[in-house]
């Protein structure tokens, strides 16, 4: 299983528009991706393609999240998702 951490850059955190953009990107990938707050048990990880899961995660600006995926292309997929989370999507 591949794992990456990312620091939430969007000013409002992973809510509304940033969550929708991220969930859409995850849904387009050939691997399943989970997300959790850093320090939370892996068993508490949520489906990263679900807007509701992302919003209920409550990840605020500056918080670190852990992304996990497995399968062919998992490393590349996670790298692309880290770039999205570490971009201030509210500024675009």
Which residues belong to the active site? 15
Rounded Cα gap, residues 76 and 50, in angstroms: 20
Concatenating the DSSP letter of every residue in 11-26 gives TT-S-HHHHHHHHHHH
Here the tokens at position 85 are 């989370």
């Amino acid at each position: 299983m591949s794992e990456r951490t990312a620091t939430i850059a969007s000013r409002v955190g992973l809510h509304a528009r940033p969550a929708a953009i991220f969930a859409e990107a995850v849904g387009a990938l050939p691997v399943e991706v989970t997300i959790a707050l850093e320090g939370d048990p892996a068993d508490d990880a949520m489906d990263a393609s679900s807007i509701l899961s992302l919003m209920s995660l409550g990840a605020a600006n500056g918080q670190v999240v852990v992304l996990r995926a497995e399968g062919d292309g998992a490393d590349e997929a996670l790298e692309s998702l880290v770039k999205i989370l570490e971009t201030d999507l509210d500024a675009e």
